[in-house]
Amino acid sequence: MKRIFHIWKAAILWGKSLHREAALDSLRNVLAIVGGATVLADFGTVKVWLIVPMLAVAFLIWLLDYERHFRGQAID
């Protein structure tokens, strides 16, 4: 239980260290992708075991988009 608490605390500290505007912009981009995917696919037919990998891919897209803000593109 103590290990889970430490992981949770590390995640919270990491979240607080993010650049707010870049994180929100990346979240908007990921939500646009998810919205487009919703139009193209019927998520009512998705198997339950696919939800975790789908969330992992969405997080990876968000992280890559977030990092894009600091690799050659300035934040306004």
Cα 24–Cα 25–Cα 26 angle in degrees, nearest 5: 90
pTM for the whole structure: 0.63
> For 29-45, b where at least 16 C-beta lie within 10 A, e where not — what string?
ebeeeeeeeeeeeeeee
Sign of CA dihedral 19, 25, 60, 67: negative
Annotated domain spans of the chain: 18-76
Cα–Cα nearest to 65, from 24, 20, 12, 26: 26
For the stretch 34-64, pLDDT in tens is 776 766 666 677 777 877 888 888 888 888 8
For the stretch 9-19, pLDDT in tens is 888 888 787 78
